[in-house]
Amino acid sequence: MNQKRSSHSRQPKRGFSFIEVLVVIIILGLLSGIVGVYLFDSAEQAKADATKTQIKGLETALDLYRLHNSRYPSNEQGLKALLSKPEVGVIPDSWNGPYLRGKNLPKDGWDNDFRYTTQNGKEYEISSMGADGVEGGTDLDEDISSSDL
Protein backbone atom coordinates (compact mmCIF):
# COMPACT_ATOMS: atom_id res chain seq x y z
CA MET A 1 0.00 0.00 0.00
CA ASN A 2 2.88 2.27 0.75
CA GLN A 3 4.16 1.70 -2.72
CA LYS A 4 0.90 2.65 -4.34
CA ARG A 5 0.58 5.91 -2.44
CA SER A 6 4.10 7.02 -3.29
CA SER A 7 3.52 6.59 -7.01
CA HIS A 8 0.43 8.79 -6.85
CA SER A 9 2.14 11.50 -4.76
CA ARG A 10 4.84 11.90 -7.33
CA GLN A 11 4.03 14.71 -9.67
CA PRO A 12 5.93 15.35 -12.86
CA LYS A 13 8.66 18.00 -12.51
CA ARG A 14 7.44 21.29 -13.87
CA GLY A 15 9.85 23.52 -15.86
CA PHE A 16 9.45 27.09 -17.08
CA SER A 17 6.99 27.68 -19.84
CA PHE A 18 8.03 29.34 -23.08
CA ILE A 19 6.10 32.50 -22.14
CA GLU A 20 7.89 32.78 -18.78
CA VAL A 21 11.28 32.45 -20.43
CA LEU A 22 10.30 34.98 -23.09
CA VAL A 23 9.18 37.51 -20.45
CA VAL A 24 12.51 37.17 -18.61
CA ILE A 25 14.46 37.66 -21.86
CA ILE A 26 12.44 40.80 -22.69
CA ILE A 27 13.01 42.25 -19.20
CA LEU A 28 16.76 41.56 -19.43
CA GLY A 29 16.86 43.17 -22.87
CA LEU A 30 15.14 46.31 -21.63
CA LEU A 31 17.44 46.58 -18.61
CA SER A 32 20.59 46.11 -20.70
CA GLY A 33 19.36 48.76 -23.14
CA ILE A 34 18.88 51.28 -20.34
CA VAL A 35 22.25 50.49 -18.76
CA GLY A 36 23.99 50.56 -22.16
CA VAL A 37 22.68 54.05 -22.96
CA TYR A 38 23.75 55.28 -19.53
CA LEU A 39 27.27 53.85 -19.92
CA PHE A 40 27.63 55.29 -23.43
CA ASP A 41 26.65 58.76 -22.21
CA SER A 42 29.10 58.47 -19.32
CA ALA A 43 31.94 57.53 -21.68
CA GLU A 44 31.22 60.52 -23.92
CA GLN A 45 31.05 62.86 -20.91
CA ALA A 46 34.41 61.51 -19.77
CA LYS A 47 35.89 62.47 -23.16
CA ALA A 48 34.55 66.02 -22.74
CA ASP A 49 36.02 66.21 -19.23
CA ALA A 50 39.38 64.91 -20.48
CA THR A 51 39.35 67.57 -23.22
CA LYS A 52 38.78 70.32 -20.64
CA THR A 53 41.68 68.97 -18.59
CA GLN A 54 43.94 68.91 -21.68
CA ILE A 55 43.02 72.55 -22.43
CA LYS A 56 43.93 73.58 -18.89
CA GLY A 57 47.28 71.80 -19.24
CA LEU A 58 47.95 73.63 -22.50
CA GLU A 59 47.04 76.92 -20.82
CA THR A 60 49.64 76.27 -18.12
CA ALA A 61 52.30 75.52 -20.74
CA LEU A 62 51.36 78.66 -22.71
CA ASP A 63 51.61 80.80 -19.58
CA LEU A 64 55.11 79.44 -18.91
CA TYR A 65 56.03 80.11 -22.55
CA ARG A 66 54.81 83.71 -22.17
CA LEU A 67 56.75 84.11 -18.92
CA HIS A 68 59.97 83.21 -20.75
CA ASN A 69 59.25 84.98 -24.06
CA SER A 70 57.01 87.95 -23.12
CA ARG A 71 54.32 86.83 -25.57
CA TYR A 72 52.29 83.80 -26.58
CA PRO A 73 53.20 81.92 -29.78
CA SER A 74 51.80 83.45 -32.96
CA ASN A 75 49.06 81.79 -35.02
CA GLU A 76 51.60 80.51 -37.53
CA GLN A 77 53.84 79.12 -34.74
CA GLY A 78 50.84 77.53 -33.06
CA LEU A 79 50.98 75.08 -30.20
CA LYS A 80 54.05 73.42 -31.78
CA ALA A 81 56.07 76.26 -30.22
CA LEU A 82 55.52 74.51 -26.90
CA LEU A 83 57.53 71.49 -28.11
CA SER A 84 60.29 73.05 -30.21
CA LYS A 85 61.74 76.51 -30.72
CA PRO A 86 59.77 78.34 -33.41
CA GLU A 87 61.51 78.94 -36.72
CA VAL A 88 58.85 81.23 -38.23
CA GLY A 89 57.42 84.58 -37.19
CA VAL A 90 58.96 86.36 -34.21
CA ILE A 91 61.60 83.88 -33.05
CA PRO A 92 61.95 84.06 -29.26
CA ASP A 93 65.46 84.56 -27.84
CA SER A 94 64.56 83.20 -24.41
CA TRP A 95 62.80 79.98 -25.48
CA ASN A 96 63.47 77.50 -22.67
CA GLY A 97 61.33 74.54 -23.67
CA PRO A 98 59.97 72.15 -24.33
CA TYR A 99 57.02 73.29 -22.27
CA LEU A 100 55.13 70.01 -22.64
CA ARG A 101 56.17 66.46 -21.87
CA GLY A 102 56.34 64.03 -24.73
CA LYS A 103 57.12 64.49 -28.37
CA ASN A 104 53.60 65.16 -29.63
CA LEU A 105 50.90 67.68 -28.89
CA PRO A 106 47.96 66.31 -26.92
CA LYS A 107 44.70 65.67 -28.74
CA ASP A 108 41.18 66.20 -27.51
CA GLY A 109 39.00 63.38 -26.17
CA TRP A 110 37.89 62.45 -29.69
CA ASP A 111 41.48 62.26 -31.03
CA ASN A 112 41.29 65.57 -32.91
CA ASP A 113 43.84 68.40 -32.86
CA PHE A 114 43.14 71.46 -30.74
CA ARG A 115 42.64 74.78 -32.50
CA TYR A 116 44.83 77.65 -31.32
CA THR A 117 44.33 81.31 -32.16
CA THR A 118 45.96 84.43 -30.74
CA GLN A 119 45.66 88.18 -31.13
CA ASN A 120 49.05 89.94 -31.16
CA GLY A 121 50.54 87.39 -28.76
CA LYS A 122 48.67 88.89 -25.80
CA GLU A 123 45.55 86.74 -25.64
CA TYR A 124 44.77 83.31 -27.00
CA GLU A 125 42.03 80.75 -27.35
CA ILE A 126 42.32 76.98 -27.44
CA SER A 127 39.30 75.06 -28.64
CA SER A 128 38.00 71.62 -29.50
CA MET A 129 35.16 71.04 -31.93
CA GLY A 130 33.49 68.50 -29.62
CA ALA A 131 32.29 65.00 -30.41
CA ASP A 132 31.09 65.78 -33.93
CA GLY A 133 34.36 67.46 -35.00
CA VAL A 134 32.60 70.43 -36.62
CA GLU A 135 32.07 73.96 -35.37
CA GLY A 136 28.99 74.56 -33.22
CA GLY A 137 26.69 71.94 -31.80
CA THR A 138 24.84 71.15 -28.61
CA ASP A 139 25.34 68.78 -25.69
CA LEU A 140 28.39 66.57 -26.37
CA ASP A 141 28.79 68.04 -29.87
CA GLU A 142 29.22 71.49 -28.37
CA ASP A 143 32.59 73.17 -28.89
CA ILE A 144 34.84 73.40 -25.85
CA SER A 145 36.87 76.60 -25.57
CA SER A 146 39.49 77.87 -23.13
CA SER A 147 37.52 81.13 -22.87
CA ASP A 148 34.56 79.20 -21.41
CA LEU A 149 36.50 77.30 -18.73
* pLDDT of amino acid 35: 77
- pTM, whole model, 2 decimals? 0.73
Helix (H, G, I), strand (E, B) or coil at 3: helix
* pLDDT of amino acid 20: 84
The amino acid present at 45, given as its one-letter code, is Q
For residues 23 and 141, give the distance between their C-alpha atoms in angstroms, rounded to a whole number: 37
List pLDDT tens digits, range 83-130: 999 999 889 999 998 999 989 999 999 999 999 999 888 899 999 999
How many CB atoms sit inside 10 A of residue 27's CB? 10
pLDDT at 1 over 70: no
Q: Kindly list the domain boundaries of the chain, sorted by start residue.
A: 20-148
List pLDDT tens digits, range 5-61: 555 556 666 777 888 888 889 888 888 877 777 666 788 889 999 999 999 999 999
Q: Which CATH number fits domain 20-148: 1.20.200.10, 3.30.700.10, 3.40.50.1360, 3.40.50.700?
A: 3.30.700.10
The amino acid present at 115, given as its one-letter code, is R
For residues 100 and 67, give the distance between their C-alpha atoms in angstroms, rounded to a whole number: 15
